[in-house]
Homo-oligomer: A and B are copies of this chain.
Amino acid sequence: MSKKIGKQTVSFKNPPSINAYSSIVGPKEGIGPLKRYFDIIIEDEMLGEKSWEKAESKLLQDNLDNLLKKANKAYSDIDYLLMGDLLNQCIASNYAARNSRIPFFGLYGACSTMAESMSLGSMLVEGGFAKSVVCITSSHFCAAEKQYRFPLEFGTQRTPTAQWTITGSGGVLIEKEGIGPYIKNITTGKIIDMGIKDANNMGAAMAPAASDTILNHFRDLGLKEDYYDMIVTGDLGKIGSTACRDILKNEGLNIGDRLKDCGMLIFDIIDSDTHAGGSGCGCSASVLASYILEEMSKSSINRILFVATGALMSPEMLLQGESIPAIAHAVTIENSI
A interface residues with partner B (beta carbon < 8 Å): 1-2, 4, 7-8, 10, 50-51, 53-54, 76, 79-80, 84, 86-91, 94-95, 97-98, 100-110, 116, 119-120, 123-124, 126-131, 188-193, 312-317, 320, 322, 325, 327
Contact = CB atoms under 8 A, between A and B. Distances in A.
A128 B1 contact: yes
Nearest to A327: B104
B1 A50 contact: no
A164 to B, nearest CB: 19
Contacts of A102: 190
A86 B103 CA distance: 21
Nearest to A103: B188
Contacts of A94: 191, 312-313, 325
B190 A314 contact: no
A18 to B, nearest CB: 19
A105 B98 contact: no
A100 B189 CA distance: 12
Contacts of A88: 88-89, 314-316
A191 B127 contact: no
11 contacts: A1-B128, A51-B320, A84-B108, A90-B108, A91-B314, A91-B317, A94-B312, A98-B192, A102-B190, A103-B189, A106-B116
Given A79-B4, A89-B313, A325 B95 contact: yes
B313 A91 contact: yes
Given A88-B89, A108-B84, A313-B89, A50 B320 contact: yes
A182 to B, nearest CB: 17
A127 B127 contact: yes
Contacts of A107: 105-108
Contact of A91 (B7, B126, B312): B312
A148 to B, nearest CB: 9
Nearest to A316: B53
A188 B80 contact: yes
A193 B7 CA distance: 40
A134 B103 CA distance: 22
Nearest to A212: B101
B104 A190 contact: yes
Contacts of A127: 2, 123-124, 126-129
